[in-house]
Structure formats: structure tokens, C-alpha cells
Amino acid sequence: MTPIHFGIQNNGIGTLTINRPHVRNALNWEAMQAFAETIETAHKLPDLRTLIITGSEGAFCAGGDLVELDEYPTHEDGVRLTTIMGDALNRLEELPFPTVAAIEGSAMGGGAEIALACDLRVMAESARLGLVHIRLAISPAWGGGQRLLRLVGYARALAWLAAGRVLSAAETLKYRLANLITPDGKALEGALELATSISKHDPSAVRAVKRILRAGLMLSPAEAAVAERHELPNLWTAIAHLEASKRFVSSKNSRPRIANQESGSIKDKTG
């Protein structure tokens, strides 16, 4: 069984599916390596506009496959575990286009870390998300702690991580971890709709939007403001903007206009 499936639709939307349903899509060494390689492949595809990450058969990802990983108890094994997926999720976060997690069932431990490494999250009503590493006497190591901190703040992140808190879909929406809640079985469909609403726009502009927002996360406010200003001039002179602007102006000029009988002025029918 191939642990990771990857496909691309005609509209530039890619889908990475974790395919180990017999263990709720928990990751063993093979699946981790395949996941990392698939993210590197996504970096090399210039026509990719969004990437959806999901799991097969009603589960997102239960984290690491402990039945296999328990056989690797050394310090070196811990470093290997941290490095493969920590690097992979950094590369996932660095993809130049938006990424969406489509979450059915459980996103636990490392699975929650994968979800938090995505830009956007769509959850089914009965889905759950929890960085529950503390229950195994370990801490997040794939970047999930830092990402949770940025999303919900220090006090809340500490309370959740130290207690192994599991959040319902409704709670993830309340705390702004999720962008959309769907009926069960519809998370992927909701993610596709969200990805389609993004992918229909000029990809250079969408990538610029992601860059300026990430700059706000990583840089000082002054540096982020400079980075944001830097994006517009090249977009302003690009063919996509020139054509869009021309269409906008043309649509304004083509509106039916009528004479105002009292003032003699001309106005749009829609005015």
C-alpha cells in the first residue's frame, strides 16, 4: 500500500492524501519519508496553485505510528523523528501558495502538527484536534508548539499542551484555528471549494498575499511593512493586472446611462 497519494486537478489544486487507514493514517518511517518527498515535489511544480492535505477513509492523521516507532527508543531515533517531519512541515509552511488541511476524524499529536502547518483548516463537525504529546511524556517537535503559540497566544497554548487538551471542531472555529466547519464526510469537499475560490485568481497575486502575511509573522512590523510595499510595483505592471484593470474600466464605461431630467446631468442607471 502506498502511504502517500498525490494528485493534481486541472485547476492547479493538488491533493496529498495520507493513506494508512488501518492505523487512522498514523505515520511510520516510510510514510514520513514519502510525505517529505511529496512536499519537495510540490515545491518543483510551477503550475500548482493550492495544496490540500487530507487523510483516507474518514481520518486525518493520528500522529506517529507508535507500534512501529516504539521499536526505536534511542536518542538518535528521536533526532531522526524530529528531523524528518520537522523539516517536512517547515517546507510545507514555505510553499509559495496556500495550503489547506481537510480534517475528518482525528488529528492528534503529529497529525495536529501537520494541520497547524497548513495555512487554512477545514474540519468536519465531529472532527477533533489535539496536540496530546504530553500523554506520552513528550512534547511537540515538528513545529506544532510554535505554530499553536502564534495562533492562540502563550497562556492558551501552554494550558492546552500541558494538559493534552483535545478540541472539538466547534472549539477550533471559536479559537480561530479552523476556517470552516462542514458536515461529516464533507471536509474535503469544503477544502476543495475554498481552494477553488483561491485558485481562480492570478497566482502571482495570491503568492504575494501569502508572502506579505508571512512577513508579518516572521519580521518586525517595520520590516513587514517594507516587504508589503515591495510586492505591488511588479504586480502593477504585470499583464494580469493590466488586463484586469482594463476589464474593470471597460465594464464601468459600458454601463447604460440616462439623462437626469431635472439637472440635465448624466448618471448611471444603477446610481
| Same structural domain, 170 and 125 | yes
- State the residue range of the domain holding 50: 4-199
One pLDDT digit (tens) per residue for the chain, 271 residues: 899 999 999 899 999 999 999 999 999 999 999 999 999 999 999 999 999 999 999 999 999 999 999 999 999 999 999 999 999 999 999 999 999 999 999 999 999 999 999 999 999 999 999 999 999 999 999 999 999 999 999 999 999 999 999 999 999 999 999 999 999 999 999 999 999 999 999 999 999 999 999 999 999 999 999 999 999 999 999 999 999 999 999 988 876 655 554 444 444 444 3
Q: What is the pTM of this model?
A: 0.92
Strand pairing category for 4-8 and 13-18: antiparallel
> Beta partners for 138?
none
Q: Does 209 lie in the same domain as 129? A: no
CATH value at residue 187: 3.90.226.10
Neighbours of 93 (CB within 10 A): 17
Give me the number of domains the chain comprises. Answer: 2
Looking at the structure, tell me whether residues 213 and 96 fall in a common domain: no
* Residues linked to residue 108 through DSSP beta bridges, in sequence order: 130
